[in-house]
Structure 1
Amino acid sequence: MKKYLIKNWWRYLIGGISLICSTAIDVMLPFVTLSMVDDVIVGRNMDIFRRDIILFVAAGLGRAFFQFIKEFLCDMSGCRVASGLRKDMMKHIFSLNKGYFDKNNTGELMARVKDDAGSVWDLTGFVGMLLTEATVYFIGVVICMITLNWKLSIIPLAFMPPLAYVALHLEKKLGKDYDEISERNADLTKVVEENISGVRTVKAFSAEGLEMKKFDEKNEAYGDANKQFASDLADSDPLIGLIPKIMQVLVVAIGGYAAIKGSITYGTLVAFVSYSIQVVWPIENLGWMLSLVSQGLAGYKKINKVMKTEPEITDTWAKELHKEGNKSGEISFDHVSFNIDGKTILNDVSFNLGKGKTLGIMGATGAGKSTIVNLIERFYDVTSGSIKIEGKDIKKMPLSDVRAFSSVVTQDVFLFSDTITENVRLGFKDTMDLRTVKSAIKSAHAQEFVEKITDSYDAVIGERGIGLSGGQKQRLSIARALAKKADLLVLDDSTSALDMETEAAIQQELQEKNDMSKIIIGHRISSVKDADEILVLENGRVAERGTHSELIRKGGLYYSTYEAQYGDYHKAMAACE
């Protein structure tokens, strides 16, 4: 947090000076009241009366001016600190590996970026300002009380330790309560985010009752945490209010007796009573202020935990080792194995894919097909073996170059709540023209339905593509991949929602693109049958490899899949002959 505070040092400096000035005016006003009582009311001095009136007006205007500067600059500084922290946190989150997001849910990360950053804003803005102001105010009032009458000042000062003890004891309890509130809030946010994102699935399975039960549990836990907070506050709040009242009664009684006896003036008594009231609020609100500090520190601690998470995959040495050369468009896997959490996902996988060639990959669910995609994108590093792009080990290339080489269409299509055009040219907003967007949409056979939509290419689609069919979303996702014009196109079971005719048309379109290599992963024979080579994975190993006709002749796993998908069709055709 230090670097964010340093960036705003001059705002804090001017705000601090303004804080001292406004506080000094507040602290000195009882002396003007003293003069008004002793010199004007008792002494009937009109000259001093006019002077004191001018002082009151000037003090009011001056305090308002310094108060505005103080609050504006301090709150702005807190805003800038939180904004900078939030920006760096998002940047850091983007740098983390896919494995991190597999282990941490979206709701918790949203709470870190939104709620905890807001707590830091409070801490470095009005809370920090308030705590500083209370400290300066308390010191100033104590000095003034001692200056007026050191004997009388013993009374309020004697009440400060027990008042501070109660306030600090309260803060300790409230700090624990807030930690619990923060955790329960993250749990509640997670449930809400999941159910809103998956509302169609919930409705499709009539799971509203079950999900409402989960929501009620988290909502009740969040409510209970807040109730505990309120209960702890209520237990100590009356005592915090009672202690100052007893102190003020003693000040009025003893001070009044001294004034009657002539030991002090009436003006001194009025000023001292005013100070005895003023000295209370910094201590009385100490628990509340420190609880806000605790909230801010707890939020920063959680943010810091995210910020201290080191990405497992970095660009170390990459810029030094990478050199531009002639692009061959080739990618190869050389005896690649990959383990995660002690489980073997891929085992000794090798292939070489030249420019313009197509590789098909098939296998049962969990065979390791999508893992190959994750390794190509270097979302994970291989356990053994190597992956090379144009002869270079991807570990020795900048991540930006590795990911620029390929364009991936995943089975889980994600579209942003933006226009169709902006979704297609994702990452290339400033460099990709509309002609390229339209060409890619046409190649993905999405032009017909896009142009029928109101506003066409400028139509804003719903979050995650809500409002579009599965096939339409897949075609837009394919268009986005084609618009990137990468050397390698990877389709990871990304035509499963398309009808056979549209799938065949897109495949024909892709076959004509000889300037890019293609990896097509699928469960349907129709997706991979035209590939130059087909790999069949089983339990992470390459069980079979060859062309469509070669694998059919082998009569192995590929042939069994072919029979399962086309056997009944061939029997029906034979029966018709």
Structure 2
Amino acid sequence: MNSPLNIFLSYYRPYRLTLFIDLLCALVVAGILLIYPLCAGYVTRTVLDNPGPEAWAQLVRVGVFMLGLLAVQIAANTFVDYQGHMMGTFIERDMRRDLFAHLQKQSFAFFDSRRTGQLMSRVTNDLFDVGELAHHGPEDLFIAVLLFTGVFVILLNLNPALTLLLFAFLPFMAAYAIYFNVRLNRALLQSRARIADVNAQVEDTLAGIRVVQSFSGEKLEQGRFNGENQRFVNSRRMEYRAEAYFYQGMTLFTQLMSIAVLVFGGLYILRDSLTLPELVTYLMCVGILMEPIRRFVNLARLLQEGVTGFQRFRELMLIQPDIIDAPDARIIQKPRGDIEFRDVSFHYPGTSRPVLKDINLKVNPGEFVALVGASGVGKTTLCALIPRFYEVTDGEVCLDGTPICNITLESLRRSIGVVQQDVYLFSGTVMENIRYGRPDATETEIIQAAKQAGAHEFITALPGGYDTDIGQRGVKLSGGQKQRLSIARVFLKDPGILIFDEATSALDNESERVVQESLERLAAHRTTIVIAHRLSTVRNAQRIVVLTENGIAEQGTHDQLMQGNGVYAQLQAVGARL
């Protein structure tokens, strides 16, 4: 397995040329910074200390030379600031792209145990810090090492004793930096986790704002938010305390170095072992020495924030999807719709109680089968196993005699249409939401699908027709209208197998009648499984399967089951709705 460092460096591969030029510009900047104090030393030693008739000309030449250096420095820094930042942004984008693609491969079980807001925080906030590290990390390290080495050589040539005294501070600075870096890293990890919790709370509350307001739950939600917000503040307090100790300690050491140079440099002048022009050059070099130290400090901050973000990125990337294509999985085109459950058992991850146990069920091609049973017996779970939204714990599900684990996920799910009670529509237009069923569909095909779903009439009555924006989750539409759009989407998809998770139970009678007619048209000549809560909706099913906690209790037509006076008859006796 590749190391985290190799994985991080691999994201530079498409931008190697930009990185090379960026580091080349950094080399130029570092070289120019080292030349400045040498120019100052030349002026004070050669021009001002013993001025001659050529002094003015020499000053002009040095000034022009330094202006030329300044122009090159500004040009190089401009490239580093702009193109370097863009490189970091591109790397951030690529990581975000890979993480989003990885999240989409995860099964329902993965999302069942995680909050959306926390995942969003990792996709957005954390990767911003990684992008900053990707940009500033290489150049700060490169410039700091070059400057530090260059300044050390210059200072050593000027006065070895004073230089050794100066560099005696470095071990103490390093020990101090390492200690507080550890504390800062720990605080940053906790801070990232807390802001993710805040995001999750905001996402949860705003997504359910209609429920919150209908139950006057604003105070309750405000209390929950305040709690998460305060936890974030507490984590930031730890972060800022560690950060303050770190940076102010580094400032203390650098100022002590400047004071030491001034005091001991003056002493060496008094002893005639150092000249004033050399002290001026030395002080300028010490000033430049502060630059690599500042960059090292900044690099330490970037490493803490970027590495923390990269760790959280890697945590998600290392979670392998538990439902993937088998190596020899084959693509199916138009399945006949022969579905069979063979000794299927299932329990949700982290639980020991099985939801389904030893289920054996065969649905013939083109058959209309209704699933009924008390709430919680696993009707929806049973249907979720067919498109492999969850993986069976034991046994196998077969499609046309082939275990579905040997069929590619993309072709399996393309062959199955699911119409749920809780319709999910995306922000955007009516046209875009229907086209989700088949992205390459033409406008004519989309309109035809809407007509088949009984949606064309109400769509054309909307202010913008098919181009009407329906709001987040279709909030501008009624329940019946949203349901018909979801059915139009499945019409456009044209799958061979249909699963209806009681798609009409939440509708009024008129909307239910229209939607029911659409569903019947959609179900014609397709293998159809209906999860029923209203028993009145399954009377005309070719076969009714009665599910209990102990598995399949009975199956048959409505009349056969009523005559058998079993579980189904008892359900009918207690009411027309489960």
**Cross-structure match for 1:188:** 198
Q: What's the CA shift for 1:163?
A: 3.0
Whether the 8 Å contact between 1:97 and 1:313 is mirrored in structure 2 is yes
**Cross-structure match for 1:106:** 116
Alpha-carbon RMSD across the aligned residues, in angstroms, is 2.2
1:499 aligns with 2:533: no
Task: Report how many aligned residue pairs link the two structures.
Answer: 564
AA paired with 1:23? A
**Cross-structure match for 2:5:** none
**Cross-structure match for 1:211:** 221
Q: Distance in 1 between matches of 2:106 and 2:576?
A: 44
Deviations along 1:13-57, whole A, 9 cap, x unmatched? 221111011111011110001112222222332232122011110
**Cross-structure match for 2:489:** 480
Q: 1:566 to 1:161 in 2, by over 3 A?
A: closer
1:445 aligns with 2:454: yes
1:9 aligns with 2:16: yes
Whether the 8 Å contact between 1:443 and 1:506 is mirrored in structure 2 is no
Whether the 8 Å contact between 2:437 and 2:489 is mirrored in structure 1 is no
For normalisation by structure 2, the TM-score amounts to: 0.92
Whether the 8 Å contact between 1:39 and 1:48 is mirrored in structure 2 is no
Q: Distance in 2 between matches of 1:161 and 1:186?
A: 37
**Cross-structure match for 1:542:** 552
Q: Distance in 2 between matches of 1:150 and 1:13?
A: 35
Whether the 8 Å contact between 1:163 and 1:283 is mirrored in structure 2 is no
Q: What's the CA shift for 1:393?
A: 1.6
Whether the 8 Å contact between 1:120 and 1:300 is mirrored in structure 2 is yes
**Cross-structure match for 2:343:** 335
User: Secondary structure of 1:230's match?
Assistant: helix
Q: Distance in 2 between matches of 1:323 and 1:258?
A: 87
Q: 1:48 to 1:152 in 2, by over 3 A?
A: farther
Q: Distance in 2 between matches of 1:89 and 1:190?
A: 18
Among the aligned pairs, what percent are the same residue? 29
User: Secondary structure of 1:407's match?
Assistant: strand
AA paired with 1:167? A
Question: Which shows bigger deviation, 374-383 or 275-284?
Answer: 275-284
Q: What's the CA shift for 1:419?
A: 1.0
Whether the 8 Å contact between 2:368 and 2:543 is mirrored in structure 1 is yes
1:30 aligns with 2:37: yes
**Cross-structure match for 1:575:** none
Match of 2:472 among 437, 448, 463: 463
Q: Distance in 2 between matches of 1:40 and 1:287?
A: 37
Deviations along 1:432-457, whole A, 9 cap, x unmatched? 12222223223333333322221121
Q: Distance in 2 between matches of 1:236 and 1:307?
A: 32
Q: What's the CA shift for 1:486?
A: 0.2
AA paired with 2:83? L
Whether the 8 Å contact between 1:521 and 1:528 is mirrored in structure 2 is no
**Cross-structure match for 1:61:** 71
Q: What's the CA shift for 1:382?
A: 2.1
Whether the 8 Å contact between 1:332 and 1:387 is mirrored in structure 2 is yes
Q: Distance in 1 between matches of 2:179 and 2:293?
A: 12
Q: What's the CA shift for 1:201?
A: 1.1
Match of 1:42 among 41, 49, 63: 49
Q: What's the CA shift for 1:236?
A: 4.9
Structure 2: runs of 5 or more not aligned: 1-7
Whether the 8 Å contact between 2:27 and 2:142 is mirrored in structure 1 is no
User: Secondary structure of 1:519's match?
Assistant: strand
Q: Distance in 1 between matches of 2:138 and 2:536?
A: 65
Q: 1:109 to 1:289 in 2, by over 3 A?
A: same
Deviations along 1:307-348, whole A, 9 cap, x unmatched? 1111222112234x5576x74232222332223332211123
Question: Which shows bigger deviation, 84-93 or 252-261?
Answer: 252-261
User: Secondary structure of 2:344's match?
Assistant: strand
User: Secondary structure of 2:385's match?
Assistant: helix
Q: 1:258 to 1:433 in 2, by over 3 A?
A: same
User: Secondary structure of 2:398's match?
Assistant: strand
- Kindly report which structure 2 residues correspond to 1:239-278, keeping only aligned pairs within 5 A, or say none: 239-259=249-269, 262-278=272-288
For normalisation by structure 1, the TM-score amounts to: 0.92
AA paired with 2:36? L
Q: Distance in 1 between matches of 2:295 and 2:9?
A: 27
Deviations along 1:233-291, whole A, 9 cap, x unmatched? 33454443333333323322332344466543332211111111221343356444313
